[in-house]
Amino acid sequence: MNKRTFLKSLALISAASFLQIPRIMGFHTQNEEILPETYRENDFSLPQLSYSYDGLEPYFDKMTMEIHHSKHHAAYIKNLNEAIKNTPFEKMTLEEIQAKVTDKFPIIRNNGGGHYNHSFFWQIIAPQAGGEPTGKLAEAIKTTFGSFDKFKEQFAQAGKSRFGSGWVWLSLDKNKKLFISSTPNQDNPLMTKIVKEKGKPMLALDVWEHAYYLKYQNKRPDFINAFWNVVNWKEVEKRFENG
């Protein structure tokens, strides 16, 4: 084998291991973005939290966190796995499902949204968090909303005025500009075929009653105030910097 064929076979081997071995072995998350089209083998499963159910006390109580994660979120996943069987959604990633779903698939819309939204939400909250964002995100919030306090007011207002169940979002639009929106039920800004205000979520708040009723009952504004104490701004900053 001369040097050229050697290099060529080396390139082929590395391409093969990059694309096929992870496929065979079933760990594909790292390479998901480079694989063409859709690619997912296993059913969706409940993501583990990186903190305990009582980790967000006293702001988010243990029982609410436990029921919210192990019952509500788990139910969305179970229903989603059942609903996508033998449909074009079956092999799609969770993000692709958001992008492709239409109002013709209400069960996938609701449960796919439910799985995406909750998986996202658990990551942008944390124990010993809160405070204020720093760096580029802090600057962007100031430029867009005037100040951090004005941003919080506008976000809280969107949460208070969402009638019934839904979510509040801080997202980046296609021009990389921050905006606040609210969606009904389990819709989210990634659902480009459903929502008007499309974007990439940076921060989210679940304002369904199941997210707060045990501790805050009818006082949704108190729950929204408590939320600021558990926002994981470091995680939001990371997402913002990745655009």
Output 110 or 232, the one with its CB closest to Mn ion: 110
- For 52-57, the CB contacts below 8 A with 24+ separation are 55/126, 55/127, 56/125, 56/126, 56/127, 56/230
Window contacting Mn ion (CB under 5 A); options: 54-62, 173-181, 208-216, 235-243: 208-216
208 lies in the binding site for Mn ion (CB under 5 A):
yes
Output 137 or 205, the one with its CB closest to Mn ion: 205
Query: What is the sign of the dihedral through the CA atoms of 235, 237, 239 and 241?
Result: negative
Give CA separation, 140 vs 58, 176, 178, in Å: 30, 10, 7
Output 137 or 207, the one with its CB closest to Mn ion: 207
53 lies in the binding site for Mn ion (CB under 5 A):
no
Task: Report, in Å, the least distance between residue 62 CB and Mn ion.
Answer: 16
Query: What is the sign of the dihedral through the CA atoms of 36, 42, 47 and 48?
Result: negative
Task: Report, in Å, the least distance between residue 223 CB and Mn ion.
Answer: 12
Query: What is the sign of the dihedral through the CA atoms of 189, 80, 74 and 34?
Result: negative
Query: What is the sign of the dihedral through the CA atoms of 32, 37, 43 and 46?
Result: positive
Give CA separation, 230 vs 9, 17, 54, 182, 225, in Å: 52, 41, 12, 20, 10
Output 71 or 176, the one with its CB closest to Mn ion: 71
Output 179 or 208, the one with its CB closest to Mn ion: 208
Window contacting Mn ion (CB under 5 A); options: 11-19, 145-153, 203-211, 218-226: 203-211
Window contacting Mn ion (CB under 5 A); options: 58-66, 141-149, 184-192, 198-206: 198-206
206 lies in the binding site for Mn ion (CB under 5 A):
yes
Window contacting Mn ion (CB under 5 A); options: 29-37, 138-146, 178-186, 207-215: 207-215
Report the interface residues with Mn ion, using CB under 5 A: 206, 208, 211
